[in-house]
């Protein structure tokens, strides 16, 4: 976990603080240090002149702030290493404190005086490193009392600034942070803006005591996770039970077979976690850490998951994909389904745009008048359909629906359908609302070849749908049907932030897609960012190249505050599945759900 905590300079007159009224009090970041010493590498150097408070150098002023916190803690203590010459770097397991012209290469924000960057251990969940950087582009001093001016600007005080930042090192957050709840006004050095306050208050002390005043022992483990051998597609649950002083936090780490580096399983946050459909990438060891509020922790013995392969069938087909989404009035808010036909001869497909019929399945706010448009790879419209009963193929539809397992449309409904025979290539089906209508709609693509033998020679290689992702029932939900004599392997992706990059350059994209794969009500797999855990990332890249999929963004965007896209390679037995795309922590925006058949 990385957390940047910013302290901004605001002139005293702008933020005069009154007594707290109905205050929620201190706030915590959710990470703490283990019991013992917390060494701080003080590397602030010598001031150009005498400091107003008489400190002999910057490190002396910083050490005084460390001691203010030490006076309030029992189980942990800061240790000041003045004049340290340790290397200044992220990820070096040292707690560097220094002046810097930037934040490890990122420019300082307007008015920002300092930042704390903390990381947690992948195995214990406890803090493993905290660096404190101070903005060297400002003119500093060290003093007490009201904030002072330097010309027309404020003169930042190092001692109260690092007092605030060292609170972040310990795991305290801004109690006045409006992103964590209603704005409140209380006296605290941990408030987000610097003020005339130059010492710890009762709120700051209560916060640090809640984290470090306990001196209880570590939890005691009474059950451990169990090693298993599971075939691809099977289920595996790892779990732990502990006694002791709670509440407990659970952190699970995974080390892939053949790897020397563990990764934190960020979605496994409880005493147990189930992988509903085990895949080859899940082979490795799983280790749990149980952490109590005092920072005491106990590690489980590693449990090994051995995954045995299954034989896949080249005759198994992806015969149907249907995606439920929301259609808006703008062109960018259409429901857009792309399909790729592979082979040497033409293929018959059934495409449907379902709106009114969804009401029979309990879907509210349906699209009253869907319009279905089929476009080839060159952008030429080759077919368009409105109400299915007005189609020249209307008489053929009931029999085709029955043969393909599609539900029937009511006579006179405005739902759309078309049968088309398509040469191998790429096609796009667009669902919009006639007359500017909007609402929930379902776009469906069926393999309509007359028999399975024909389908095996010309098959759906890829089906993808782009649409708006909302919250709750407004998720982008893709249903897929796998048919054949045995399992087959697929690449499934939920793409959002990559769509903001060249060549797509879309606006309003889903910045952090979250992908879940279900069979019925059973969650088989889930993924937030395709680089987590890191071990399957190479296989995901290789699968994308193999099927001709565009590459996904590899780095997070600090400006857009994005995560990464989601992806999984999964071998599925014949059956019906659902891929659900939502925004992590209820984010919304445009996303693409893709299903690729791997050869």
pLDDT per position as a tens digit, 70-87:
999 988 999 999 999 999
| Phi, psi (deg, nearest 5) at residue 12 | -55, -40
**Tokens 């025979």 sit at which residue?**
421
What are the residue ranges of helices labelled H in 123-226?
A: 158-170, 202-212
Contact (Cβ atoms closer than 8 angstroms) between residue 321 and residue 595: yes
pLDDT of 595 strictly over 90: yes
Residue 179: per-residue pLDDT: 45
pLDDT of 14 strictly over 70: no
* Cα–chain center distance at 21: 36
Q: What is the mean pLDDT of residues 104-112?
A: 89
Alpha carbon separation from 466 to 87, 277, 364, 499, 595 (Å, rounded): 47, 26, 21, 10, 12
Tokens, residue 366 = 């349906």
Task: List, as one string, the DSSP characters of 433-456.
Answer: EGGG--EEEEEEEEE--SSHHHHH
pTM: 0.73
H-run or E-run covering 61: helix 58-70
Tokens, residue 576 = 């019906």
Q: Is 366 helix (H, G, I), strand (E, B) or coil?
A: strand
Least confident of 12-16, 587-591, 594-598: 12-16
Residue 455: per-residue pLDDT: 64
Residue 456: per-residue pLDDT: 65
Sequence-ordered list of residues with C-beta below 8 angstroms from that of 541, at least 6 positions apart, any chain: 551
| Phi, psi (deg, nearest 5) at residue 471 | -105, 160
Distance CA 136, CA 157 (A): 13
Contact (Cβ atoms closer than 8 angstroms) between residue 103 and residue 279: no
Q: Please calculate the CA angle 73-77-78 and round it to the nearest 5 degrees.
A: 125
Residue 462: per-residue pLDDT: 81
**Tokens 């476009």 sit at which residue?**
375
C-alpha closest to that of 316 among 447, 420, 191, 132: 447
Q: Helix and strand tally (H, E) in the chain?
A: 6, 36
Structure confidence by residue, pLDDT tens digits, 532-541: 988 899 999 9
Q: Provide the CB-side half-sphere exposure for 235 (13 A, CA).
A: 8
Q: Is 552 helix (H, G, I), strand (E, B) or coil?
A: coil
Distance CA 576, CA 584 (A): 25
């Amino acid at each position: 976990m990385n957390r940047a905590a910013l302290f901004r300079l605001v002139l005293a007159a702008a933020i005069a603080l009154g007594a707290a009224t109905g205050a929620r009090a201190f706030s915590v970041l959710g990470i703490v240090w283990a019991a013992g010493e917390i060494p701080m590498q003080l590397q602030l150097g010598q001031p150009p002149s005498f400091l107003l408070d008489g400190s002999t150098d910057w490190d002396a002023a910083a050490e005084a702030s460390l001691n203010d916190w030490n006076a309030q803690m029992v189980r942990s203590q800061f240790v000041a290493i003045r004049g340290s010459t340790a290397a200044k770097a992220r990820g070096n397991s040292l707690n560097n404190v220094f002046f810097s012209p930037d934040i490890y290469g990122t420019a300082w924000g307007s008015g920002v005086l300092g930042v704390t960057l903390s990381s947690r251990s992948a195995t214990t969940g406890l803090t493993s490193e905290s660096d404190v950087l101070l903005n060297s582009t400002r003119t500093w001093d060290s003093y007490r009392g009201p904030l002072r001016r330097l010309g027309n600007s404020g003169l930042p005080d190092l001692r109260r600034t690092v007092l605030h930042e060292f609170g972040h090192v310990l795991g305290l957050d801004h109690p006045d942070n409006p992103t964590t709840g209603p704005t409140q006004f209380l006296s605290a050095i941990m408030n987000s803006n610097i003020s005339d306050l130059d010492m710890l208050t009762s709120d700051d002390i209560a916060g640090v005591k809640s984290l470090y005043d306990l001196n209880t022992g570590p939890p005691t483990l009474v059950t451990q996770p169990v090693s298993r051998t599971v075939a691809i597609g099977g289920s595996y649950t790892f779990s732990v039970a502990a006694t002791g002083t709670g509440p407990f936090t659970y952190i699970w780490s995974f080390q892939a077979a053949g790897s020397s580096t563990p990764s934190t399983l960020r979605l496994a946050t409880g005493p147990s976690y189930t992988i509903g459909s085990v895949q080859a990438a899940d082979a490795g060891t799983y280790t749990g850490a149980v952490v109590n509020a005092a920072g005491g922790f106990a590690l489980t013995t590693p449990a090994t998951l051995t995954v045995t392969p299954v034989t896949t069938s080249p005759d198994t087909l992806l015969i149907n994909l249907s995606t439920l989404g929301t259609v808006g009035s703008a062109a960018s808010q259409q429901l857009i389904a792309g399909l790729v036909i592979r082979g040497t001869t033409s293929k018959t497909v059934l495409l449907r745009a379902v709106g009114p019929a969804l009401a029979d399945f309990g879907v509210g706010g349906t699209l009253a008048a869907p319009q279905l448009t089929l476009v080839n790879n060159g952008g030429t419209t080759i077919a368009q359909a409105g109400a299915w009963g007005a189609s020249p193929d209307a008489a053929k539809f009931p029999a085709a629906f029955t043969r393909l397992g599609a539900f029937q449309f009511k006579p006179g409904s405005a739902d759309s359908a078309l049968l088309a025979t398509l040469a191998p290539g790429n096609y796009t089906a667009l669902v919009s609302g006639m007359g500017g209508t909007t609402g929930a709609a379902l776009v469906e693509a069926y393999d309509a070849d007359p028999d399975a033998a024909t389908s095996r020679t010309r098959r759906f290689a890829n089906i993808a749908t782009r649409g708006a992702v909302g919250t709750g029932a407004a998720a982008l939900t893709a249903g897929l049907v796998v048919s054949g004599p045995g399992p087959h392997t697929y690449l499934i992706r939920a793409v959002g932030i990559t769509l903001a990059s060249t060549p797509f350059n879309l606006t309003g994209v889903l910045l952090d897609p979250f992908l879940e794969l279900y069979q019925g009500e059973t969650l088989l797999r889930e993924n937030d960012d395709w680089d987590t855990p890191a071990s399957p990332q190479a296989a995901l890249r290789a699968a994308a190249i193999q099927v001709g999929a565009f590459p996904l963004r590899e780095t997070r965007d600090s400006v857009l505050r994005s995560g990464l896209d989601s992806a999984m390679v999964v071998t599925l037995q014949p059956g019906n599945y659902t891929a659900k795309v939502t925004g992590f922590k209820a984010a919304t925006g445009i996303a693409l759900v893709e299903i690729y058949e791997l050869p």
